[in-house]
Amino acid sequence: MSRAIPRLVVAGTASGVGKTTATVAIARALRARGLQVALFKCGPDYLDPTYHARAVAGTSHNLDGWMMGREAVLSTFAAETAGADVALIEGVMGLFDGASPTGEEGSTAEIAKWLEAPVALVIDASGMARSVAALVQGFAGFDPALRVAAVVCNQVGSRGHLDILRQAQAQVNRSLPVVGGLPRDEAQRFPERHLGLRTADEAALPEERLDHWGAQAEAWIGLDALLEIARAAPPLPAAGAAAIPGAAATPGAGAAATPGAAAGAQRGRARIGVAFDEAFHFYYADNLRRLEAAGAELIRFSPIRDARLPDVDALYLGGGYPEVHAERLAANAALRGEIRAFAGRGGPIYAECGGLMYLTEAIRTLDGRAQPMVGLVPAEAAMCEKLQALGYVEVETQARTILGGAGLRFRGHQFRYSELRPSQRAAPAPAEPAAAPAPTEQPPSPSTPAPLPIEHAYSVRRRRGGQVAREGYRAGSVLASYVHAHWASNPLVPEGLVASAAAHRKERAR
């Protein structure tokens, strides 16, 4: 059975050309017309989806070809477009940029082709006139299997400038029109910080700014033309069971990869506390849904504000900006003590990136000040001026963890400006069994975390270059890593975390 869903990929010629602004503006304008808009983001980005969510008062989902695989992308798209009038999919980087310089894996183009979706190409038209036609022709002709159907010009100087751009493109290809643009407006730019855009909370993105960009889209962009293009997309076939990318050697890898598909999942198996506030909010919506599908009830708490943990059976500490809020986190000694006590009772704690930093003994900010943290990982998380790691990785567990047995494989990515430095007070590391190096193993690069006096439960292979490093810092029931994992790559992982939480629940009840 197939299903028709009007859809449009909003892609760019490069990063920084205004894809997010255009996507948010168009979505906000369509919502003002009374349309139900489903929003998606290509790639692993956590921040752009927060702008999407604010634009339509809903949830935006990531679609990442490398981390999720084709069937999981199609399944997620099908599930999250139910009841929608139109879907907008914001691209990542440039239209053809992805995990490889020679292929389309992980690119916006790959997602557009999987979804059979037309593309609206966003360009930065500042200082440009007839050259717009040459640029568009290059992108439109690069891959004949992809349909670039419209052009949106960002940073235009005036109505007259936009008319020049329309004429230049129409003289070359009338069937691929400039449907409009957005004027240069420095006062209404979205705010940024070191990881890209700031999270779209009320302080960074007031409703008035969203309304402004929605009004600009209504006034400057041919929304009716875009809707006509989106509605011409062909029906999509029903999504099948999702394959697990890269998980051929994983025990049980034939499990269904769509949330809710796990057989026998029981609601209320366990309660998992999810850290969520200004410091911690980098979570894939799909990951949270998979925990719920496995029977978990998710309870939010704030490491900044709450003095006590909620009554939960496990903790999930996601990424975010703990370095920005390090002083406030340090000031909440009561909650830090609660987390240490929870770990001491054998409570499962899973942490990613910012969550890992919070579990260290201290976060050292760029001004050189060290703020005390939870102290479960015997190291210091030090902020650096330069980027320390960026890119896709594949993880294989080397021992049993709170996620399941050894040999679990899953995919994720890293994007960080911090590094772990050994603590002066650290105890000796537990002995680890010797492991034969992988064929592609190379000496650690400068961005590889220094060896720590703690057990390393992960083997982490970089997608680009193939270097392998030991990571995944484990101490008792604590598992922390710099890897942001996407569990569509192996749905056994969230199942394993919920099982560990349920086991701890039973232990507490004795």
Compute CA 87 distance to the chain's CA centroid, rounded to the nearest angstrom.
Answer: 18
Residue 329 near residue 464, CB atoms below 8 Å: no
* Residues forming a β-bridge with 481: 352
Closest Cα partner for 54 from 206, 193, 197, 168?
A: 206
C-alpha distances (whole Å) from 92 to each of 87, 96, 156 are: 16, 9, 22
Three-state secondary structure call for residue 52: helix
The stretches of 154-267 forming alpha helices (DSSP H) are 159-172, 207-220, 223-231
* Residues forming a β-bridge with 280: 320
Give the residue numbers annotated as catalytic, written as ranges. 353
Residue 69 near residue 119, CB atoms below 8 Å: no
Beta strands in 13-53 (DSSP E): 37-42
Q: How far apart are CA 101 and CA 96, in angstroms?
A: 9
Element at 281 (helix H, strand E): strand 280-282
Residue 58 near residue 227, CB atoms below 8 Å: no
Three-state secondary structure call for residue 239: coil
Residue 41 near residue 90, CB atoms below 8 Å: yes
Contacts of 428 (CB under 8 A, 6+ apart): 453
Element at 60 (helix H, strand E): strand 60-63
Q: How far apart are CA 318 and CA 477, in angstroms?
A: 17
Closest Cα partner for 382 from 418, 427, 436?
A: 418
Closest Cα partner for 460 from 321, 315, 352, 349?
A: 352
Angle at 454 between CA 428 and CA 248, to 5 degrees: 145
Angle at 320 between CA 315 and CA 322, to 5 degrees: 85
Closest Cα partner for 327 from 363, 352, 355?
A: 363
Sign of CA dihedral 315, 365, 44, 255: negative
Tokens of 56: 């339509």
Phi/psi for 140 (5° steps) reads -70, -30
